[in-house]
Amino acid sequence: MNPATTALVLIEFQNDFTTPGGTLHDAVKTVMESTDTLNNAVEAAAAIREAGGVVLHVPITFAPGYDEITRHPYGILKGVVDSTSFVRGSWGAEICEQLTPVEGDIIIEGKRGLDAFGSTNLDFVLRSKGIETVALAGFLTNCCVESTMRSAYEKGFEVLTITDAVGATSPEEHANAIQYDYPMFSKPMSTDEFVSSLSEDKELADSSRGY
């Protein structure tokens, strides 16, 4: 993994998921607390910035009334509509304070569905910046993160999933995705492993340049 060609993609670290008072926070807080999801994502973001990689934020937002999607949503999107989540301009749709984008970060706009590639320019941005390795963190473990993981794999990126920086609505769903699905389409690793790998690879790159 070359840090200079690595991107950390943070999926839906928004108040409705991450923060008490968010519409969906109670659904994910058990897994968040068990894995320390948010703090691990913060650590991973700081590490990749320090190593010379890039952080991309991929929030999901909808106009009031959810006119961008079907009038009769079902599945996960029905849950979003029924809970009035991720409404553009609302506090719940904002990226959480702990992961407020900093200079050099990129915000990917246009996510309306599960796959972060599906309705956005994520692929264009990654390729324009010469990214070869995509590391994923966010929500939900078995939904948007997994959908994005599968697409990134199909598109030919090296895909890493940071298993303690993702969250789901139950420990069972979280564990099942990581155990059975993630190894098929990515290289699962912990935050500590991700950070250590970045540090080691940066040291090797600096050494090769005579720093």
CATH number at residue 154: 3.40.50.850
Share the mean pLDDT of the chain: 95
Q: Which of 43, 62, 10, 15 is nearest to 166 (CA)?
A: 10
- Alpha-carbon distance of 152 to 138, in angstroms, equals 15
Q: Is the pLDDT of residue 161 over 80?
A: yes
Reported pTM: 0.94
Which residues, 6+ apart, have CB-to-CB distance to 204 below 8 Å? Answer: none
Confidence bin at 201 (pLDDT 50/70/90): low
Confidence bin at 79 (pLDDT 50/70/90): very high
Q: Is the pLDDT of residue 128 over 80?
A: yes
Q: Is the pLDDT of residue 203 over 70?
A: no
Q: What is the pLDDT of residue 206?
A: 57
Q: Per the structure, how many domains does the chain have?
A: 1
Confidence bin at 204 (pLDDT 50/70/90): low
Instruction: Please give the C-alpha separations between residue 93 and each of 14, 59, 97, 127, 203, in angstroms, as whole numbers.
Output: 6, 8, 12, 27, 38
Boundaries of domain holding 172? 3-208
Q: Is the pLDDT of residue 14 over 90?
A: yes
Q: Is the pLDDT of residue 53 over 90?
A: yes
Whether the CB-CB separation of 134 and 152 falls below 8 Å is answered with yes
